[in-house]
Structure 1
Amino acid sequence: MKITNPARSPERRRHDVLARLERETDVWVATADDDGLPCLVPLWFVWHADAVWLSTRITNPTGRNLRDGGRARLALGDTQDVVLLDGEVTVFAPADVPEAAGALRAKTGWDPGGDGPSYAFFRIRPYAVQAWHGTHELRGRQLMRDGVWAV
C-alpha cells in the first residue's frame, strides 16, 4: 500500500477519535483473568460523560475480568484506522446508572437491564488514547496520557 495522504495533526486526530466514539456502535474489548488468560470480544458501547460505557453479563469471562481486573484495552477500527484506549473500569448495576443506560439504549436499541439481573454496566475512563492511520502516523499517536489529553 502506498501512503499518499499526509499525517494528521494531533488536534485532527483527537477530533476524529471523539467523532468515532460518538458514531460507532461496536468496540473490541480486551481483558485478562488473574492467570493472564486473554479475552477479546466485540461489544456495543456508548461514549457518555467522557467515558466508554458498555454492558455484559457479570458472570461471563469478560464481565468477571472487567470487574476483577479493573482495567481494559478497547480498540476501534481496522489496522489502517486504529484507535486504542486503555482505561480504568468501574462496575455498576443498571439501575445505578440511568443516564448511561438510557444513552446505550438510545444508541443501540438494547436495554441490558431488561435482559436479566446478571447484566452489569461498566464505565471505562480512558487514561491513554492512541490513534493512527497507517505507519506514517505512528509518530505522534499518543493523544492522552495519565487521563489528560496531550492536545
Structure 2
Amino acid sequence: MTDTGSSPDGPRSPERRKREALARLARDNDVWIATADATGEPCLVPLAFWWDGETVWLATRDTNPTGRNLCASGRARLAFGHPRDVVLVHGTARMLPREELPDGVGDAFAAKDGWDPRADHPSYVFFQVTPEVIQAWGTVPEMSGRTLMRAGKWLV
C-alpha cells in the first residue's frame, strides 16, 4: 500500500481500494472512533479493534463518553489510516457484555491487541460495529469513487 493513497499512474481502482481497505482492517491495531451525545457534543478517541471479516469489534467502558454515546445512539464513525490514505466506516453499533460475546470474539480480540478487556475492569463492554458505508481515498484525485459500500452492500 502506498503512503499517499494513490499511485503515480493516478487514482487507484475501486477494486484495489477495496482490497487495500480490507487489508488495513485486518492489520491495523487502532482506530479513531467518533460519536456524539444527545446534544450533539462530539467525542473522538482511539480504540483497539478487531475486524472479523464483516464487522468491527471494539471494547470500552460503558461508563465513559464513547460507551454512553454508542449505547444511546447506536451510531459510530471509524477512521482507519491517516489523512492521505484513509478508510472511513459509518456504521451501527450494538453493545454486548462480555458474557454475551459470540464464541471466539473475546479471544480473537485479545490475541490481536495483546490486551483482554474481559480480564480488566467489569465496566468494559464490547461493541460490534456493522458497516453501512465504507469509503477509501488518498488524495484529491481519489475523492471521486471513494464509496466502496453503501447501505451495507459492497459496490465493488
Asked if these proteins are the same fold (TM beyond 0.5), I'd say yes
Identity %: 52
- Residue number in structure 1 paired with 2:34: 30
Between the two proteins, the alignment pairs up a number of residues equal to 150
Which stretches of structure 1, 4 residues or more, deviate above 6 A after TM superposition? none
Checking the alignment, whether the CA contact within 8 Å between 2:24 and 2:81 is kept in structure 1 is no
Q: Of residues 137, 140, 146 in structure 2, which corresponds to 1:141?
A: 146
Q: CA RMSD in A?
A: 1.3
Q: Report the residue type matching 2:46 in the other structure.
A: P
Deviations 1:58-116 (A, max 9, x none): 00000000111101000011111011000000100112114211111010111101112
Q: Report the residue type matching 1:64 in the other structure.
A: R
- Residue number in structure 2 paired with 1:76: 80
Q: Report the residue type matching 2:36 in the other structure.
A: A
Deviations 1:124-146 (A, max 9, x none): 00000000011110010000000
**Structure 2: how far apart are the matches of 1:28 and 1:35?**
21
**Structure 2: how far apart are the matches of 1:123 and 1:51?**
6
- 1:64-143 superposed matches below 5 A: 64-97=68-101, 98-143=103-148
Distance 1:52 1:131, change over 3 A: same
3-state SS of paired residue (2:107)? helix
**Structure 1: how far apart are the matches of 2:83 and 2:53?**
28
Q: TM-score with structure 2 length normalisation?
A: 0.92
Query: 1:49, CA displacement in angstroms?
Result: 4.5
Q: TM-score with structure 1 length normalisation?
A: 0.95
Q: Which runs of 5+ in 2 are unaligned?
A: none
